[in-house]
Structures are given as C-alpha cells and as structure tokens.
Structure 1
Amino acid sequence: MELTMTSKGQITINKTLRDGLGAKPGQKLRVEVRPDGGLVIPPVRPATKTWDDLIGILKPLPGTPPVSIEEMNETIARGWAGELDDHD
C-alpha cells in the first residue's frame, strides 16, 4: 500500500489502516523509526484507566438492590462450579 504526502508534509491514513490500528479520528498515533529507515505504527492501546473509572464499573445500576458479601461469595462459588449460565 502506498500513501501520498501532501506539500504540507501530511499523509492521509486510509480507513483500512485506521481500522487495523484501532485508531479513531483526532487520536494521536505513535510512529517509530526503525534503524533501516522504515516506520512502525504500533496498534493503538486503550487509555490507562484511573481508579475512578474502576470504581464507576463497580457501582450498581440504578434500581439494583445492594448485594451482600455473602451473596457475592456464593455467586462466585457457583460460577467456579459451573452452576451459572449467562443470565445469572
């Protein structure tokens, strides 16, 4: 695949390459120059999550009753035992 550089030194990365990299519009890409002059564009990794993001995942959905530690432990044990299906 060939890309064309504009007079301003810009290169457009086509959709196939963007999809392969997992890149989204406005996202910065890291480019590494190999010793032979070739370029490497590593896949885009998701941004590192913060503790606040993790805590947000653990919050119950609105209207969901609280679950006790005992209920959590029982559900975990049932899951390990293969007693749960996708809807439990």
Structure 2
Amino acid sequence: MQTFKVTVEGQVTLTAELLKHLGVRPGDRLIANGLPNGKVELRAAPRGEISDAFGFLSAKRIDAPLSIEGMNEIIAAAWAGEQ
C-alpha cells in the first residue's frame, strides 16, 4: 500500500510504479469512481475519441459479403468442431 500527500490545491502525485500498473502515459486520462466507505476506484480512461470509430462499417470490402446461408454453414461447421 502506498501513501500520498494532498497538496494545498487538492492534487496528488502518483508514483511511476502505480502509473505503470494502470498502463497510463503522460497525457492520458484517469477515471475515478467514489465507492462506499470512503474508497475510490482509479482506472485508465479509454484512449482515442468516439469519432475514431465513425466510418469503420463503410470500409471498402475486398470480398463479396456473406449470405445468410453462408453464415449458417460457417456456424454449423463451428458447432460440429470443424473450425
């Protein structure tokens, strides 16, 4: 367990060891959730922006999309242990 000192401004400095454990780097964000009994959960915030995901479904396909029948064949083969 580590102990941290709170500055006059209400800030706390986390050790490099703890930041490494959280998987954060300079510029990353943390999420803190207040829990019962005065506890706090601290975790790394997801990287990137929601807008990074826009357009991924409209990507150009190389192959033709699968038909329902094709999907059913793949599923049946997986259930049979063939894949």
Q: TM-score, normalised by structure 1?
A: 0.53
Q: CA deviation at 1:12?
A: 2.4
Q: CA deviation at 1:70?
A: 0.5
Over the residues paired in the alignment, what is the CA RMSD in angstroms?
Answer: 3.5
Matches within 5 A, 1:1-88: 1-18=2-19, 20-21=21-22, 25-32=27-34, 34-35=36-37, 38-41=38-41, 43=43, 56=56, 62-84=61-83
Q: CA deviation at 1:18?
A: 4.2
Counterpart of 2:3 in structure 1: which amino acid? Answer: E
SS of the aligned residue for 2:70 comes to helix
Unaligned ranges ≥5, structure 1: 47-52
Q: CA deviation at 1:69?
A: 0.7
Higher helix share: 2
Unaligned ranges ≥5, structure 2: 47-52
Percent pairwise identity? 33
Higher strand share: 2
